[in-house]
Amino acid sequence: MTQAEKQFVREYETTYLLKSETPDDEVEEIKERLRAAVGREGGKVIRFTNQGKRKTAFPVAKQARALYMHCLYIGRPGLVQEFERNLKMIDSVTKFESVRLADEVDFDARQVEADVKITPVEEEQRPRPEFGERGDEGFEAGFGERGEE
């Protein structure tokens, strides 16, 4: 195949957050809807990654936790606008961000990969000390007679 016959496209990734109470069957419906939107625009979804429920850095849509999803896809430049338009119409999507990863990716050479589901590592829950507690050693630990170290 010559250089003129190859179809070059761009590679994109979109990370989007779903409400934490979104059921698994609805997550699958959203993935299929987005996969269909990419296909209509002449693109190809490489992989969806379900990164599980995690605590967000700040409340998103008044929720402290969200279901993190990642989509890797290739297509022409107008594809991202259509992808994001579809995300805006889905009520359970609370936030999203798209990034262009590469230009001039060979459409036929890029293979579709299986979807991935990552189980998140639970945050370690430390017991909070009661009000007024200072740990095992107390406030004066490490100080000499006159309050000097």
Write down the pTM of the prediction: 0.76
> Per-residue pLDDT tens for 93-137?
999 999 999 999 999 999 999 999 988 666 556 666 666 666 555
Best CA proximity match to 54, nearest among 36, 41, 69, 67: 67
Distance between CA 98 and CA 54 in Å, rounded? 20
Distance between CA 83 and CA 30 in Å, rounded? 11
> Per-residue pLDDT tens for 35-64?
999 999 999 999 999 999 999 999 999 999
Give every CB contact of residue 131 below 8 A, 6+ residues apart in sequence: none
Distance between CA 15 and CA 25 in Å, rounded? 19
pLDDT band at 92 (very low <50, low <70, confident <90, very high): very high
The helix, strand and coil proportions of the chain, stated in percent and rounded to the nearest 5, come to 20, 40, 40
Q: Going from the N-terminus, what domains does the chain have, and what CATH number goes with each?
A: 8-117 (3.30.70.60)
